[in-house]
Amino acid sequence: MSVDAATVLPLRQRFTQGLDAPICLTWELTYACNLACVHCLSSSGRRDPMELTPAEARRIVDELADMKVFYVNIGGGEPMLRPDFFDLVAYAVDHKVGVKFSTNGTRLTAERARRLAAMDYVDVQISIDGALASTNDAVRGEGSFAAARTAMDNLAAANFGQFKISVVVTRENVTQLDSFAAIAESYGAQLRLTRFRPSGRGVETWDALHPTADQQRMLYHWLLDRPDVLTGDSFFHLSALGQPLDGLNLCGAGRVVCLIDPVGDVYACPFVIDKEFLAGNVRDEGGFARVWRQSDLFVSLREPQSAGACASCGSYDACQGGCMAAKFFTGLPLDGPDPECVFGHGEDALAARDPGARRGSAIGHSKVDRTGTPIPVPTPVRFRTPARA
């Protein structure tokens, strides 16, 4: 057996068959959010009354520590809105479960930045979706760019060290990649670009906001030139264009990653919050470990998958048919091309699909008015200091 780190393929095959524990996982702490971004993958807004209690959340950390999960990606909703946020982060770190958390920055005050700077094994990602306030606020809400920049200033002033600036690449902001890189550089921060999937509220906005085919090709070359820009492996569908992008280039859903949502439901990945991809709940007997190791859904995702309509394409090994979530929510067959297939097969499939094939988001926590109608998004916010820090 080769021990050379350059040969990824045998390992990739191993990973597609699943591991005893996830390599890392996403844990959305709350569906509560003070923003209402038009592309929110989890349709967040309202806190769910069944949200895990602080004691239940700590038990999940205990389990992850037992399974030797090295770190969790914490998100939401806005995770800093959870009253026990800092207690939980400290508890995880104390148990050798590192924390990377994503925040809109609105609650990242100077005092809280100093508190974060004093903790080991905590990484912070601040989300912006435009290098200009106008581009960003059109997606994330009026005032959200200024709030995020204030949070970055606070981290810098607290000498937090290298934080990350996280951007979902859209048709509108893909022309600003160099500006994003410049903002990151000005803070000594790392830039992280991720793919816009048609999940959550993104179901409604994907058609208008996902990058065009030309933009995707430009993005691919931009990324190849900048190996230091992080991508969370999310653009592996672009690897079909030639030289593979950095990373394992596979869909890890239910194999090496998964999502624990705020009520303890375990999904195959953060971008498929839908009954179809619900594997179980951490409150069930056997807890998270049993869901991970034995749920019917995850076991089936680890079996060999059919390449389907992609079988005859010479690039299938490179892109693996792309993203399951992107196919599911646009109503495409899971064993066919990604809607953003670089050879245009996805566009053909989108044009040929049945009317009504597209999935709505049945599980949503968008804010609603008194009649139960979702409030149009986005909503304005301001950076403010909470009463208790």
According to DSSP, residue 152 is labeled H
Q: Smaller CB distance to other proteins: residue 122 or 138?
A: 122
Residue 156's identity, in one-letter code, is A
Q: Determine how many CB atoms are found less than 10 A away from the CB of residue 214.
A: 9
**Residue span binding other proteins (CB under 8 A) among the ranges 3-11, 80-88, 166-174, 293-301:** 3-11
Nearest to 51 by CA among 70, 35, 37, 32: 32
Binding flag, residue 250, other proteins (CB under 8 A): yes
Binding flag, residue 296, other proteins (CB under 8 A): no
In the complex, least distance from residue 146 CB atom to other proteins, rounded to whole angstroms: 28
Binding flag, residue 243, other proteins (CB under 8 A): no
Residue 203 makes CB contacts below 8 A (sequence gap 6+) with 329, 358, 359, 360, 361
Q: Smaller CB distance to other proteins: residue 98 or 374?
A: 98
Residue 213 makes CB contacts below 8 A (sequence gap 6+) with 340, 342, 344, 347
Binding flag, residue 4, other proteins (CB under 8 A): yes
In the complex, least distance from residue 382 CB atom to other proteins, rounded to whole angstroms: 31
User: CB-side exposure of 132: number of CA atoms within 13 Å?
Assistant: 8
Q: Smaller CB distance to other proteins: residue 8 or 146?
A: 8
**How, if at all, do strands 122-127 and 265-267 pair?**
unpaired
Binding flag, residue 137, other proteins (CB under 8 A): no
Binding flag, residue 238, other proteins (CB under 8 A): no
* Bridge partners (DSSP) listed for residue 98: 71
Binding flag, residue 166, other proteins (CB under 8 A): no
Distance CA 361, CA 201 (A): 7
- Interface residues with other proteins (CB under 8 A) are 1-5, 10-11, 14-15, 19-21, 23-24, 26, 68, 70-71, 96, 98, 100, 120-121, 123, 192, 194, 227-228, 230-234, 246-248, 250-253, 256-257, 269-271
